[in-house]
Amino acid sequence: MVLGFDELSGWAAASNPGMNMCIGRVSGRTAAPGFSLDGEAHTLGGCDGGGGGIKGETNLHGGPAGFASRNWTIEADDDTSVTLSLLSEDGDQGFPGELRVSLTYSLVGGSELRLRYSASTSKPTPVSLTNHAYFNLGASPTVHDHTLQLNCSGFNPDDGSGDGVPTGEYRSVKGTVRDYALPTPVAKVIEGQAGDTPLWPHGEQFVVDGMRGRDPNEVAQAGDASLYYLPLVGTLAEPSSGRVLSIFSSEPIVQTYYSTLLADTEVGKGGATYEKYGGICLESHRPANAENVEGQPEYGDRIVRPDKNYEQNTVWKFTVPDGGSASTTTTTTHPDGTVVTTVTSSCGL
C-alpha cells in the first residue's frame, strides 16, 4: 500500500524522492536565506532546485542532506515495533543546537501503525518531523481513483510565485476546489489545484481543524494513552478494494503531495516503474517557514527549546474487507453533482 524499493540500493540512491523516509530537521519549505532566532541569523542550504519550480536557494525538508538521507541507529526492536535514534550535531545544515531524535514505529492491533517521535535540543531550534510515505491503496498505477477527505477548513497558500513557501496566511477552503470535507476523487483534487494555481500543482499545506489553538506536544503525550485524544486528520480510500487509511495526529498541519514529479524514472517493488500521480503523500507536521512569518501569531511555530521536548504522535489506521466481515458502501453526492462511492469495513488488516 506504499511505493518503495526491494533493495537497500533503491532506498539509498540519490534519486530516491524521499519515499517513506523520516524528514527533518524541518518539513516543507523555508524561504532563503534561512531564519533568525533570538536575534541570531542562521543560513540554510538550498534544495538545488528540487523540481516543480522550487528556487534553488529555497530550503526543502531541512536541506540536501536532511534526515531522510541519514543512517539511523536501531535502539530496540521486537515483534511489533522498532525504535530508531539519530544525533544531529550543533550547526548541522545551519541549524543551531545538538538535537537528539527518537522515532518508534509500532504496529497496534494489527491495523494501526503508530509513528511516535521525540526530540530534545541543547539550544533553541526549529524542529518539524514527518514521514514521506507514498500511498497507493489499490492496483492502479495512479491514485486518481482514490478519494480524499480532510478535516481541514483552511489552508496556507504560498505567495503565488510557484515556490511553495507558505506566507502564513490562513485561507478558507469552503466552496473552493480545496474543500475536501466530503470524500473527493483524487483526480478531481489534482485537476482542481492545477487549474487554480498552475504554477503550484503539487500539493498544499492544510490546517487541521482539531489542532487549532492546541499544543501539539501536549496532544502527542495524551495520545500515548488513547487514540481518542488524537484528532482525525482525514481519510484516504480506494473504492475497488475497500481499503481505507484514516490518519490521526497531534500535528497542526497536513501537507498533501500528489507525486507530480514521478515520471517512470524510479524502479520500485517487483520491478515496477512509478509514474506521475503514482502515490499520494499526507505529511503531518508543524507549520513550514514559521520563523519567517511575522504578524500572524495564529500561524503557530516550530521552535523547540532545551526545557521542553518536541513530541509527535501520528497514527495510520487501516481497514479493509476481509472474508465474511461486514463492509459498508456509502454514496455521497457533492454540491456540483459529483457522485462518490466509498467502501469501508469494520475489520482490521
Q: How many CB atoms lie within 10 A of CB 277?
A: 19
Which amino acid type is present at position 2?
A: V
Q: Is 149 exposed, middle or buried (0-12, 13-18, 19+ CB in 10 A)?
A: buried
241 close to 319: Cβ distance less than 8 angstroms: no
The confidence score (pLDDT) of residue 333 equals 55
Give residue 16's pLDDT: 86
Query: What are the strands of the beta sheet with 112-121, ordered from one edge?
Result: 73-77, 81-88, 99-108, 112-121, 310-319, 243-249, 232-238, 147-150, 184-185
Please count the CA atoms within 13 angstroms of the CA of 329 that sit on its side-chain side.
Answer: 6
Rounded Cα distance between 241 and 309, Å, is 40
pLDDT number for residue 223 = 97
| Type of residue numbered 108 | V
pLDDT value of position 289:
97
Q: What is the DSSP letter of 280?
A: B
User: What are the beta bridge partners of residue 312?
Assistant: 117
Closest CA to 147 of 12, 291, 343: 343
Q: What is the pLDDT along the chain (349 residues), one digit of tens a residue?
A: 999 999 998 888 888 888 999 999 999 999 999 999 999 999 999 986 666 778 889 999 999 889 998 999 999 999 999 999 999 999 999 999 999 999 999 999 989 999 999 999 999 999 999 999 999 999 899 999 999 999 999 999 998 888 899 999 999 999 999 999 999 999 999 999 999 999 999 999 999 999 999 999 999 999 999 999 999 999 999 999 999 999 999 999 999 999 999 887 778 999 989 999 999 999 999 999 999 999 999 999 999 999 999 999 999 999 987 643 444 555 555 555 655 544 444 433 4
pLDDT at 145: 97
Cis bond before residue 302 (omega within 30° of 0): no
Q: What are the structural domains of the chain?
A: 8-345 (2.70.98.10)
Q: What is the pTM of this model?
A: 0.92
Helices (H), the chain: 8-12, 186-196, 216-223
Residue numbers annotated as active site? 132, 283
Q: How far apart are CA 279 and CA 259, in angstroms?
A: 6
Cell, residue 115: 509513528
Number of neighbouring beta carbons within 10 Å of residue 301? 13
Q: What value does the CA radius of gyration of the chain take, rounded to a whole number of Å? A: 19
Closest CA to 47 of 138, 165, 216, 145: 165
Strands (DSSP E) along 190-268, which ranges? 205-207, 232-238, 243-249, 253-257, 266-267
CA distances from 336 to 151, 176, 300 (A): 20, 11, 34
- Other CB atoms within a 10 A radius of the CB of residue 318 amount to 17
